[in-house]
Amino acid sequence: MRIVFVGSPEFAIPSLTSLHNHFQVVGVITQPDRPAGRGRNKRPSAVKTFALQNDLALIQPRMIRDEDAHSQIELWNPDVVVVAAYGQIIPSSLLNIPLHGFVNLHASLLPRWRGAAPVQAAILHGDTTTGITIMQMDPGMDTGPILAQSKVAIDEEETAGELLSRLSHLGAQLIVDTLPSYLAGDIKATTQNHHEATSAPLIKKEDGMFTPDQSAEYVARQVRAFEPWPGSYFHWDSKIVRVRKAHAILTAEDSIGRIIQVNDKPAICMREGVLVLDELQISGKKAMPGTVFLRGARDFVGSKIVFE
């Protein structure tokens, strides 16, 4: 089985590893190196690093629709192209090059949470289950027919980073189990129920700032959903305070936005309930438990958070 793999972040590595161990990966496509970190130096994607370490043929087109990428895929002559978290729309002109088309690993139980941030959306909206879907790709956004799915429970305190890691390994096993039957014609693809579709759009850095007119339960989920990126934060005393861990209690408070103390931890009075700050981080400093934070910020309790 000749496979071309298309992907970029760490999420894609378990699947690429499994495919490389079980089949013939004839080529890899990943995003160009991007500026990262404080120095904004260009860094390779996790997929590029793996490809170089394992002597896999690699291209990094600016856009996958570029003619050079089209020509290279034809030269590689794959039976199937596997996509995992690539970050670009695959154009229709490429989908029919392989005999068995393109298949995609998506980190949700489609048609729920189509789009760029399905794991964050599942946690943010309070879902108790999620999973991996392997689907045939079509020109739409995660709209293709389903080949296989695997379901898992979402732990109550699980962050997006932790859940994404679990799902990456689940997907790695599912893709190697599914591809042989798919290529043999033994799997009947199932059309998605488009009426049940929900959207998980791309998350931006500024989405991490929360406001006190939200409910404490919602923001507690946001803290988990946006960890490790983009993070959840508020402004206090001309500083950005990032909330790394939090939980909600339903205590009624009148002064929305006021910071109080709950069991030796700081807490914010929200429109509904109170958000207890279990772990905080001021920009430029290390994260610390809420109890420790209060020792160095005695004027924190009784003040109000600032929203800009």
For residue 96, the 8-state DSSP code is T
Per-residue pLDDT tens over the stretch 103-145:
999 999 999 999 999 999 999 999 999 999 999 999 999 999 9
Sequence-ordered alpha helix ranges (H) in the chain: 13-22, 46-53, 67-76, 92-95, 118-124, 160-183, 216-225, 290-296
Report the sign of the C-alpha dihedral through residues 107, 204, 229, 268, in that order.
negative
The reported pLDDT for the residue numbered 303 is: 85
Domains 2-196 and 205-296 share a fold: no
Tokens 């005999």 label which residue? 99
Q: Does the pLDDT at position 79 exceed 90?
A: yes
Helix (H/G/I), strand (E/B), else coil: 75: helix
Contact between 132 and 165 (Cβ < 8 Å): no
Q: How many Å apart are CA 288 and CA 250, to the nearest integer?
A: 24
The reported pLDDT for the residue numbered 128 is: 98
Nearest-10 Cα torsion for 77, 78, 79, 85: -150
The one-letter amino acid code at 3 reads I
In CATH, what class is 2-196? alpha beta
Among 12-21, 110-119, 165-174, 255-264, the least confident range = 255-264
Prior bond to 228 cis, omega within 30?
yes
pTM for the structure as a whole: 0.94
Q: In the chain, where are the structural domains located?
A: 2-196, 205-296
Please state, rounded to an integer, the average pLDDT across all residues of the chain. Answer: 94
Contact between 8 and 44 (Cβ < 8 Å): no
Helix (H/G/I), strand (E/B), else coil: 24: strand
| CATH 3.10.25.10 assigned to 205-296 | yes
